[in-house]
A = this chain, B = another copy of it.
Amino acid sequence: MTRADLNDLIARLAGQLVALRTRFEAQTQSLARSCTTGRPDSGGIDAGQLDAHRLDRKQLPSYELAFAGAELLAAETVLRESSPTSTDLAVRLALTFAATACQSITARLDQVALDLDGDTPMEPARRAELRAIYTLVLSGAALDETGRLINESRDEIGAVALSEDLVIAQGQFRRLATEVLAPVASRIHREDLLVPEPILQQFREMGVFGLSIPERYGGSAPDDRDDNLMMIAVTEALSEASLAAGGSLITRPEILSRALLSGGTAAQKEHWLPRIAAGEPPCAIAITEPDFGSDAGGLQLRGTRTEGGWLLNGAKTWCTFAGRAGLLMVVTRTAADRSLGHRGLSVLLVEKPAFDGHAFEFRQSGASGQSGNSAHSGGRLTGKAIATIGYRGMHSFDLTFENFFVPDANVIGGEAGLGRGFYFTMTGMVGGRLQTAARACGVMRAALLTALRYAADRKVFNAPLGDYSLTRAKLAHMAARFAACRQLTYAVGQQVDAGGGRMEASLIKLFACRSAEWLTREALQIHGGMGYAEETAVSRYFVDARVLSIFDGAEETLAIKVVARSLFEQALKSAAAAA
8 Å CB interface, A376-401 against B: 386-391
Interface assignment of A573: CB less than 8 Å from any CB of chain B: no
Which of A114, A128, A317, A546 lies at the interface centre, i.e. has the most chain B CB atoms within 10 A of its CB? A114
How far is B63's CA from A38's CA once the two chains are assembled, in angstroms? 50
Given contacts A59-B468, A115-B139, A521-B517, contact A293 B528 (CB under 8 A): yes
State whether B529 touches A318 (Cβ < 8 A). Answer: yes
State whether B531 touches A56 (Cβ < 8 A). Answer: no
Contacts of A127 in B (CB 8 A): 121
8 Å CB interface, A137-176 against B: 138-144
State whether A143 touches B60 (Cβ < 8 A). Answer: yes
Contacts of A103 in B (CB 8 A): 107
Contact size class for A?
35 or more
How far is B396's CA from A533's CA once the two chains are assembled, in angstroms? 10
Secondary structure class of chain A's binding surface, majority of residues: helix
State whether B535 touches A387 (Cβ < 8 A). Answer: yes
State whether A532 touches B547 (Cβ < 8 A). Answer: yes
Mark the stretch among A40-48, A250-258, A554-562 that contacts chain B: A554-562
How far is B92's CA from A79's CA once the two chains are assembled, in angstroms? 42
How far is B295's CA from A543's CA once the two chains are assembled, in angstroms? 29
Interface assignment of A225: CB less than 8 Å from any CB of chain B: no
Mark the stretch among A342-350, A438-446, A454-462, A487-495 that contacts chain B: A454-462
8 Å CB interface, A77-129 against B: 103, 107, 110-111, 113-115, 121, 124, 127-128
Interchain nearest-CB distance for A96 vs B (Å): 13
Interchain nearest-CB distance for A16 vs B (Å): 15
Interface assignment of A304: CB less than 8 Å from any CB of chain B: no
How far is B141's CA from A58's CA once the two chains are assembled, in angstroms? 8
Contacts of A543 in B (CB 8 A): 389, 543
State whether A111 touches B124 (Cβ < 8 A). Answer: no
How far is B526's CA from A549's CA once the two chains are assembled, in angstroms? 11
State whether A388 touches B534 (Cβ < 8 A). Answer: yes
Contacts of A387 in B (CB 8 A): 190, 533-535
Contacts of A555 in B (CB 8 A): 525
Contacts of A461 in B (CB 8 A): 295, 298
State whether A60 touches B140 (Cβ < 8 A). Answer: yes
How far is B216's CA from A328's CA once the two chains are assembled, in angstroms? 69
For A288, give its contact among B63, B138, B529, B551 (CB under 8 Å): B529
How far is B531's CA from A547's CA once the two chains are assembled, in angstroms? 9
Q: List 6 A-B contacts (CB under 8 A).
A: A291-B459, A293-B528, A295-B461, A386-B533, A387-B533, A525-B554
**Interface contacts beyond A298-B462, A388-B539, A532-B546: sample of 6 additional A-B pairs, CB < 8 Å, sorted by A:** A114-B131, A114-B134, A124-B124, A388-B534, A524-B546, A525-B555
